[in-house]
Every structure is written in C-alpha cells, then in structure tokens.
Amino acid sequence: MLSLMETIIFLKGIPIFQRVDGEGLRHLAERAEEKVIEAGSIVFRENEIGDVMYIIKKGKVEVFKGAGDKKNTIAILGEKAFFGEMAILEDAPRSAGVIAIEDSILISVDKDSFRQSVYEYPDIAFEVLKCLSSRLRYADEMLH
C-alpha cells in the first residue's frame, strides 16, 4: 500500500493530473484506494453500471468490446494509464470491458470523490477534458 505522500507523487506522474496543484492532488489521494487484481480477472464488464475510474500503478489490462468469438481488443494499457473515466463523468453503462492481462495494482477513484475534488479544484476537470478530447481525436483518426 502506498502512503499518502507516495500516492500524491504517483498521481502527479499521471497525464491527467500533472498540472493539478498539490492540494488538489492531496484531496484525490486521500480518497483513492489501491486494489490488487490477478491476471485473468475481470475489472469490469461492458454495459455494467460503474462509478469508479482506475489508474494502473503496476501491470497491464486489456480494454475490449464484446465477448467470446466476437471479443475485440480496443487497447492494451500499462503503467500510469487510466480507464473507466466515463463512469465518473456520466450515469451510463460501461462502454467496454476490462480484464487484467498481468497481475496488476490499480488505484481507484470513485465518482463522488472525483466530483467533490473537481468542485473544489476545477483544474482537474480541464485536464480530464483534454485527455478525453485526445482520445476522441485518436478514435476519429482510426476510423478514417
């Protein structure tokens, strides 16, 4: 388990949190939880209702749509990548599933904690929007 200071330093290294000031990071770090996920374990399923985003401290996960023969890999994410952020921004089912492909350690932030942090430290929201915009641009480029 990370200490509060180690969690703050870790979050500072994540692209969406790099420009967030110390107090904003502290606020998030105090509410973050560390979870150990074994390789092969489902983190969450497509169409589940979710209220948590995750940041990979260690390991790798696969983001996928569908199941069985119709399973399509969307991305393989490694250390310092984040996923599940849509669940903390909107009240809609998960758009994809995620499975650990290596033993992994994830830092989770739930919707209420994230939203409270955004209200108190609005710069967090701008950084998340920038990352989402970048992901949308990448997806658009992949389609064309």
Residue ranges covered by each domain of the chain? 4-143
Q: Could you tell me the fold of the domain covering 4-143?
A: Jelly Rolls (2.60.120)
Average pLDDT of the chain to the nearest whole number? 88
**Beta carbons of 46 and 95 less than 8 angstroms apart:** yes
Predicted confidence at residue 1, as pLDDT, reads 65
Q: Rounded to two decimals, what is the model's pTM?
A: 0.85
pLDDT in tens, 55-101: 999 999 999 998 878 889 989 999 999 999 888 888 888 999 999 99
**Phi, psi dihedral angles at 102 (to 5 degrees):** -140, 160
34 — pLDDT class (breaks 50, 70, 90):
very high
pLDDT (mean) for 25-53? 93
Which of 92, 99, 100 lies closest to 47 in space, CA to CA? 92
